[in-house]
Amino acid sequence: MFETLFPILFLVGVAAFIAVAMAGASIVFGRRTSEGAKYEPYESGIKPKGDTRGRFPVKFYLIAVLFILFDIEVVFLYPWAVIYQKLGMFGFVEILVFIVILLIGYFYILGKGALKWE
């Protein structure tokens, strides 16, 4: 049993050693600065302009959610493509129905103007 777990334990040990070594090297060799801009939100070396609590339009979130939704749906095409030969005509009809439903949803959100960025 030890022979089967040894590679996993070895990998975890090596990863832990590398993580500790990098954190230690950063503490020992890292540059320490105490500038005022360092403690500002969104530290990037550039002083922020205006209020950092700016609002994003709801349209931004709507487009992001729609992108994620359609992106995840398209991922379902990959397993179908892998076993396309085994499914035959039944699989083809099923994926055709799936794509038609996706297209209906896509044209619906286009018609509602959800993807128009103003």
Percentage, residues of the chain above pLDDT 90: 29
Instruction: Return the closest-CA partner of residue 46 out of 58, 34, 54, 38.
Output: 38
Q: What pLDDT sits at residue 108?
A: 93
pTM of the entire predicted model: 0.50
From residue 9, alpha-carbon distances to 2, 3, 16, 17 in Å are 10, 10, 10, 12
Residue 78: closest CA among 101, 95, 66, 103 = 95
- Separation between Cα atoms, residue 8 and residue 69, nearest integer Å: 36
pLDDT, one tens digit per residue, over 9-29 is: 999 999 999 999 999 999 999
- Tens-level pLDDT at each residue, the chain (118 residues): 778 899 999 999 999 999 999 999 999 998 877 766 566 666 566 666 766 677 777 888 888 888 898 888 888 888 888 888 888 898 889 989 999 999 999 999 989 888 887 7
> Is 62:114 a contact under the CB 8 Å cutoff?
yes
What is the widest separation between alpha-carbon atoms in the chain? Answer: 68
Length of the chain: 118
CA–CA distance, 68 with 62 (Å, rounded to integer): 10
Q: Which CATH number fits domain 55-118: 3.40.30.10, 1.20.58.1610, 1.20.210.10, 1.10.150.120?
A: 1.20.58.1610
User: Where do the domains of the chain lie?
Assistant: 1-53, 55-118
